[in-house]
Chain A
Amino acid sequence: MTNFPSTQSPYTPHTPADVEAMLLDLGLESIEDLFDIPPSIQFPDSFKIPPRSEHEIKTELKEIFDKNLPLVEFLGHGYYSHYIPSLVDHISDRSEFLTSYTQYQPEISQGFLQVLFEYQSLIVELTGLEIANSSMYDFATSIGEAALLSGRISPTRTKILVPDILRSERLSVLKNYTSNSGFKIESYPTRDSNTDIEKLENLFSDDVSMIYIESPNSHGALEESIKEISDIAHASGSLCCLGTDPLALSILEKPSSLGVDIVVGDASVLGLPNAYGMGVGLFACRSEYLRKVPGRLVGITKDATNRRAYTLTLQTREQHIRRERATSNICTNQAWVALRTAIHAAYLGPHGLIDLAKQCIELPLELSSKLNTIEGVHAPLHPRHYFREFVVRTDKTATEVVQALEAKGYAVSSIGDHELLICITDTNASHLDAFVDAFKEVNS
């Protein structure tokens, strides 16, 4: 099949004649002569990993993946996906995009730089804030980076306020990002799936660096008082940070008009299928924070022919120049995922984004009202506006309901003894009525 010895990696292109000629040029007998590792730390054994062919691996891994139960997922809780048009795969898989790296040489990377600039512009349009970076790792780490940014803006303040319904994973990441920089995390109460404004004012002091709010939040509810919250924050000199996603932003009031100073989230709701939690961190903020912003920024300039061109800019903020005083330690980010988000959003256009976002309101309305007709079921738990998901209360225990639904082929999550979170989007909408029937059977 090949001219290459079977002991060779399938991806090293050297023929035996090549190797011989190269060694001859180097005046060496064998490749091993190039290694002078002390014998005491040489590894003489094998890893006991036999090499396999492509076909064998694809077959083996497919068999392994087939062990996953083919449940219809009604899962959300901060991680969502929608149908991805074929264009996204076919463009993002083009190997110039896929196999390139950070655009340290802009002249040869104008294409990817322009896509990232268009991605930044998309986020600027959606948030109304002037600066968007070209990606962070995910939702949770973006919250951490926002907290650190607030610390650079107000170095004497040490408190970050977070909602009491915040996903515990996000809280854990936030703590890791901030605990070694002198921050304390404190939670503020929510009531009926929205921020409890009355209790909020007392929590603010000149020690609060930033309040973090989410919309849609952990219950799928849209936060209705963002402007009041940011007013309270600003009155005591604190910043207001909103966690959300680009599809929600397509129809929600612009965060900048509501006094929000920083927006974070997961942009991979567009562009990435369910990928076991992999995403892309969205990060946007006001222009006055420009020099303190983390992450890569693509900017416009001119080239020597006086034409418009793109480049990474303000790199002196970053770790490869500023080292321990960098605005973040981030180097490799999620650029290729941001590329997919940009393509998906461009494919939908403003009409498509609004239509898809409308579905995120209409589907939960339809599903919750149908579930609510079931005896022993109350949906949604609180009267709010829901985006993609909502909380359902059942007389039966949540554990019982989850298990019974799983036996019927559905995956849902529980967030309390009698509370479930149900997520419905265009990806599982075709199962709506069957799901309702199953839910009814399970709760009878």
Chain B
Amino acid sequence: MTFSIPGDRIYSQSHEWALVDSNIALIGITDFAQDELGDIVFLELPTVGDILIKEQIFGLVESIKAVSDLYAPLSGTVLEVNSTLETEPEQVNDDPYNTGWLLKIELKNLSEIETLLTAEEYGSQTS
């Protein structure tokens, strides 16, 4: 099974992705992660204004067979939360990189970006 790993993003070892645009990042979970979880039924996400600290838990994602913590790939302040996931959590399964995005944050420390994996590095890790 080959998983989608878009080249325009960077990845954490705990299967989150970040799409960085200057000091703003869009965050979500990878195709591999959503496949592992199975049908997602619920997400617990922070609210606008909350602070994320890199590698700390910021929420959780629940499927019918598992509950998984979400780890912040980067530190920052939450600007936006994907509210459609409240009624359509399946977006994360169907389109984890686009309509299934989780958060938009304002980055606190741009140097953290270098610590994340490129698409190739993440790909070899999950194969």
Tell me the A residues contacting B by CB distance below 8 Å. 291, 315-316, 321-322, 325
Contact = CB atoms under 8 A, between A and B. Distances in A.
15 contacts: A291-B42, A291-B44, A291-B62, A315-B64, A316-B62, A316-B63, A316-B64, A316-B65, A316-B66, A316-B67, A321-B65, A321-B66, A321-B67, A322-B67, A325-B67
Given A316-B65, A321-B67, 7 more contacts: A291-B42, A291-B62, A316-B62, A316-B67, A321-B65, A321-B66, A325-B67
Closest 4 CB pairs of A and B: A316-B67, A316-B62, A322-B67, A316-B66
Interface of B: 42, 44, 62-67
Count chain B CB atoms within 10 A of each CB in A316, A321, A322 and give the residue with the most: A316
Contacts of B66: 316, 321
A316 B44 CA distance: 14
Nearest to B67: A316
B68 to A, nearest CB: 10
B106 to A, nearest CB: 27
Nearest to B68: A316
A291 B43 CA distance: 11
Contacts of A322: 67
Contacts of A315: 64
A325 B69 CA distance: 11
Contacts of A325: 67
Contacts of A291: 42, 44, 62
A397 to B, nearest CB: 58
Nearest to B42: A291
Most chain B CB atoms below 10 A, which of A315, A321, A325: A321
Contacts of B63: 316
Which of B44, B63, B64, B66 gathers most chain A CB within 10 Å? B64
Contacts of A316: 62-67
Contacts of B44: 291
A321 B66 CA distance: 6
Nearest to A313: B64
A348 B117 CA distance: 65
A25 B62 CA distance: 47
A321 B63 CA distance: 11
A292 to B, nearest CB: 11
A315 B62 CA distance: 10
A322 B66 CA distance: 7
Nearest to B63: A316
A315 B44 CA distance: 16
A325 B60 CA distance: 13
Contacts of B62: 291, 316
Nearest to A311: B64
Nearest to B44: A291
A291 B42 CA distance: 9
Nearest to A322: B67
A304 to B, nearest CB: 15
A316 B38 CA distance: 13
A82 B42 CA distance: 43
Contacts of A321: 65-67
A325 B44 CA distance: 15
Nearest to A317: B67
A325 B66 CA distance: 12
Contacts of B65: 316, 321
